[in-house]
Structure 1
Amino acid sequence: MATQPEILCPSAFPEWDGARLFAVVGGTPERPETAYLDQLQPVTPELLELAGPVAPIEVFRFAAPCAERACQQFDGSTGRCQLARKTARIAPVVVHKLPRCGIRANCRWWLQEGPSACKRCPQVATLNYAPSEAIRHAADPARPLDEVGTTAPLGT
């Protein structure tokens, strides 16, 4: 009997069980740009030290098994990640062509929201001190999706 593939959260923290590095965040705090790695990397103390004087979650993106009901972003009644849902609907599209991604096949956001999430994912930084209003809203589990209007166009 085949087992279900592990569903990964693309907005994980390095200390989570099973966490692996899958992307590096560049750009600026106002306009983060994610570069995806070809292969997932294990989280090691040496890797975390590469972040330099900033927190690793400012410059790295980690994937880890989705915590589902143990996560404040997960809606147990629908079985869906609200961070993925809101990001896919209110964050601006930043790429038209889906970026290469080492976790897509098992990514919670991809499995739940499809290309809509991937076209917005490159602007996501797990820790961002200057997020756009759309990203701030998407990340706030207390704010429902219906509090905002339509999504912004490419590059805004």
Structure 2
Amino acid sequence: MEEFAANKSTLCPSARPESVNSVVFGVVGGTVTEPRVAYLKKPQPITDELIAKASPITPAEIFRTAAPCATKSCQHFDGQDCRLAMRIVEKLPPVAEELPPCSIRRDCRWWQQEGKAACMRCPQVITDNYNASELLVKVAIPTVS
């Protein structure tokens, strides 16, 4: 993670585990109907060993990963802002009563763009969620500008 701090990269907290320079910053817990992310004290690099530990499910079902924001290469980026972060804040209810202990907050695009409101909703965001509510599915669909 030190290289991110040195480069001052803005991190996407909803990156795919296979993204270049991705790190795990949370582990999915909770229940099938109400999954919640438990945040790691320090982000961990994605390794083949870590991916193997996820088997037989996808790493994105149990890990929240961050990677440098893809900006114009991302379907959620409108040229200036992350529309996914905007929809999460607009449409999802908060699930945390206080700021989660997130190790990527300083560099997180959602934090930089939406502040505390994004953090209060972040623990319910699971990248590969095959039991997502209709609302979560709607929020995740990219909007056309």
Q: Same fold (TM over 0.5)?
A: yes
Is 1:41 the equivalent of 2:22?
no
- Aligned to 2:54, the other structure's residue is in SS state coil
Give the alignment's TM-score, normalised by structure 1: 0.85
Q: Which moved more, 1:125-134 or 1:56-65?
A: 125-134
Instruction: Give the aligned partner of residue 3 of structure 2.
Output: none
After TM superposition, the runs of 4+ consecutive aligned structure 1 residues lying more than 4 A away are: none
Decide whether the 8 Å contact of 2:83 with 2:143 is kept in 1: no
Provide Cα deviations, 1:65-86, integer angstroms capped at 9, x if missing partner: 000010001011xx00011000
Give the alignment's TM-score, normalised by structure 2: 0.91
Greater Cα radius of gyration, structure 1 or 2: 1
Deviation at 1:16, TM superposition (A): 1.0
Residue pairs, 1:70-149, within 5 angstroms: 70-76=73-79, 79-142=80-143
State, as a whole percentage, how many aligned pairs show the same letter: 49
RMSD: 1.5
Rounded Cα–Cα distance in structure 1 between residues aligned with 2:11 and 2:42:
15
- Aligned to 1:141, the other structure's residue is in SS state coil
Unaligned runs of at least 5 residues, structure 2: 1-5
Unaligned runs of at least 5 residues, structure 1: 145-156
* 1:115–1:20 CA distance, 2 compared to 1 (3 A): same
